[in-house]
A and B are shown apart, each in its own frame.
Chain A
Amino acid sequence: MSSNLQLAHRKRAATKPQAVESVAGATMKAAAGAMIVLGAIAFVVALSRGRAAIAWEAYLVNLLFFLGVAQGAVVASSSFYLTQAKWGGSTPYRLGEAFAPFLWVGFFLFFGLYFGRSLIFPWVTHPIAQKAAWLNTPFLFARDGIALGAMAVASFAFIRVSRGDGARAWTIATDEIELPPHSIRVLAPVVAVLFAAVYSLIAFDLVMSLAPVWRSTLFGWYFFAGCFWSGVTAMALTAVVLRGRLGENNLFTNPTVMHDLGKMVFAFSVFWIYLLFAQYIVIWYGDLPVETFFIVQRVHHMPWSPLSVACVVLIWLIPFTLLMSVRAKKTPVILGTVSALGLAGMWLERYVLVVPSLSLDAIPFGATQFLISIGFLGVFLLSAVPGLNRVAQAATSGEPVGDDAE
């Protein structure tokens, strides 16, 4: 409500925030490093101890998850331009771009899959005649490599412009209707369109092809919608965390900004469940074995069904119920918790999508997979450090936010 906004304005006008240059201290870097080492060790050990399959499963799951988060956040930033969003000044843009460096890391980690291909892709060991044209090692790595590469290049081109002065100036509200700089008007759509294409491809190649008989036309869309949501959620979580660490009057103390982040988490969680339901009901009703088995084995059969339920609870039920009210959206603790749980849920969802195809009867989650995941998290955090600093600077710059915020 605009009245509160005015209050916020007044307050901010009164006291400008303390400018902060960097949030990620040596401790964090060290911690991240440690995690990476742990993960690497666990991975190597697993490979040497003949538990390679389990290691590669974890590798794939985390790769998908963290790539999704990083890319989703960048796309969020680009879509802010497309919808000409000015509710948070330049900060939301920085927030979205913070995790981008992992795109390159992920790009290279992707090729690591090559060494685990025979353990991950059933069709490598038992080629399928009809699908051989699409499902064959060289083609798969070529196309997905190129796709991820292109995605990273586009994202970084976009980010460079987005951090430029032109874009920054635009994000500050004015009285005129004006469009963001031309280069942004070109790159933002490119990133968005590319995202849909590339992540559909990833979904088909790195998830669907693990159960080669199965097919679902919506799956690509569903997958990248999940990525986008995880990106947004990560942004919200970061905002909540930084809010406490940036001192007085940083942007995240502005309830309306949190409200808007909360709305996004809420809205796209609903969109995710919509896509999930759209797939489920069609397959449930169609009753075609080639489609149903994928769902039946995950949702209707032990040991996976509890996990599937957990995904829905974490990704939809909790955000939907908790974030329904305005007050909750504006309450950092709630928003933070929900986002954290949501991210966990999304990780779990990737896990449930991938692993049952490889080991149907048992959940192979254990120390190995845990540590490998930790390792990936470490990489992710480390790669995010510079970006987070930028966020801190923006959030404490005290720049006015657009008047379209409520």
Chain B
Amino acid sequence: MKNISPLNNIHQLGQYGNFENKNDNELVKIKEIKNIFIYQVVQFKNSPKSELVIDNLVFPDVLQVKTNKEIRILWMGPNNWLVISDKNIKNELDNNFSINDFAVTDISHSRSIIELEGSNAKEVIKKGSPFNIENLAENNCCNTIFNGITITIDNIEQNKNKIRIISLRSFGESLYHSITDACLEFGYKAI
């Protein structure tokens, strides 16, 4: 196999912790999101401000996520976005955003992504992150910290309690341990 995902060595399918006699929704489901494209798009401070669009998605404002089937655009900071896509859109981005006004950087391989799902997903976050997760609405995101590791939380689907936790790749295994350890009390299922 040519490519190996960040959590390949640690993400072992199965059920762990207090999983006995619990229904599926009570268990936290954990999944690695891999083979996905991630770009940082930054508009330079002194370049003319205009509405930014890619794939008919307008770049969102503070803490928001704009999304369609394939792409999620996350607000990361002033003039700074993360474009997460199932397909390679480097060329589109390069064409839309001139190098004199924008910095587009492919960081697809520099992140590891964990997806949590289930009624206790937010309780898991509360065990390590001081961020007020209850206030993070669907299609909102935030940068914060979990047991000393910098993360981005992306609220994918409120009613399913489905959230993604994005971290730097090299921290991936430590974060994965920290998250799954926090799941033990509820029981979790690696899928």
Q: Do A and B come together as binding partners?
A: no
B: which residues have CB within 8 A of A?
A: none
A: which residues have CB within 8 A of B?
A: none
